[in-house]
């Protein structure tokens, strides 16, 4: 009996230690904020140069996601995942509508530069069946970035949508507050670049639709796919000339 009691107490202690080492990490999608209502200063306007474009500070929350060092590009939840959460970004943008004269009845090119921008978030080893918690240390992640962005917008669809885009970061510097069990710097850079590109696509689609159809908000389905066209979207493999 004494032995059985000692074993039971030991198992209880191990379970309590495991629970104590696991902390919650919010995994819910951030509210899909209406870019048109949140970023009033990002509307299309005519600059002193006579160009129609967007010149503003773009600030946004970004959705939680998973990254995997052993499977770059994977966002699936598994035992090797790291949870990237509580992400926000802020960057000035200067985008020209009809960049390089590329504007017609079927499409328009929107492009320019961004930065210096900042991305902040938290990252830790995923835990739980749905990666809804973390285990071990959680690092604060700060990324400074800048570069260029270009999008091709399909004007034949309603609402208009981004059919092709590319974000090219000429500078990206990342700081991590504490070490983790693996070097996640490469996959977090890719994940953050992808998230910023999607947010830029959404902003471009939102503002062009505001310009063409004032007062009409983007449907939730368009917001949820980041302002991208429902079929045929692709990232430029090489920066367009």
pLDDT in tens, 28-77: 554 444 444 445 568 898 888 889 999 999 999 999 999 998 888 888 88
pTM: 0.84
Secondary-structure breakdown of the chain: helix, strand, coil percentages, each rounded to the nearest 5: 25, 40, 35
Name the nearest CA neighbour of 236 among 175, 142, 163.
163
Q: What is the largest CA-CA distance in the chain?
A: 88
H/E stretch holding 191 reads helix 185-212
pLDDT of residue 22: 66
pLDDT of residue 25: 57
pLDDT of residue 72: 83
Q: What angle do CA 10, 16, 19 make, to 5 degrees?
A: 145
Q: Which two tokens stand for residue 37?
A: 């209502």
Spatial separation of the C-alpha atoms in residues 111 and 241, rounded to whole Å: 11
Q: Which two tokens stand for residue 163?
A: 């059919």
H/E stretch holding 112 reads strand 107-127
pLDDT of residue 11: 47
Contact in structure between 29 and 63 (CB atoms under 8 Å) = yes
Name the nearest CA neighbour of 49 among 102, 4, 94.
94
Look-up of token digits 């966002």 = 75
pLDDT in tens, 115-130: 999 999 999 999 988 8
């Amino acid at each position: 009996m004494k032995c059985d009691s000692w074993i039971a107490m030991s198992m209880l202690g191990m379970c309590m230690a495991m629970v104590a080492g696991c902390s919650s990490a919010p995994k819910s999608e951030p509210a899909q904020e209406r870019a048109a209502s949140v970023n009033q200063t990002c509307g299309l306007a005519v600059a002193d140069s006579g160009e129609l474009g967007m010149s503003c500070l773009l600030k946004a929350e970004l959705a939680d996601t998973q990254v995997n060092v052993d499977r770059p590009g994977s966002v699936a939840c598994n035992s090797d995942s790291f949870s990237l959460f509580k992400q926000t970004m802020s960057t000035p943008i200067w985008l020209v509508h009809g960049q390089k004269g590329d504007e017609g009845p079927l499409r328009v090119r929107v492009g320019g530069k961004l930065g210096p921008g900042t991305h902040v978030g938290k990252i830790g080893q995923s835990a739980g069946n749905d990666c809804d918690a973390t285990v071990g240390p959680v690092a604060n992640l700060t990324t400074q970035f800048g570069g260029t962005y270009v999008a091709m917008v399909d004007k034949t669809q309603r609402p208009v949508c981004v059919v092709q885009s590319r974000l090219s970061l000429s500078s990206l510097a990342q700081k991590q507050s504490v070490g983790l069990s693996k070097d996640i710097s490469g996959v977090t850079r890719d994940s953050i670049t992808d998230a910023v590109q999607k947010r830029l696509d959404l902003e471009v689609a939102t503002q062009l639709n505001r310009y063409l159809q004032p007062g009409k908000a983007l449907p939730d389905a368009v917001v949820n796919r980041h302002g991208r066209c429902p079929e045929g979207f692709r990232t430029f493999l090489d920066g367009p000339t």
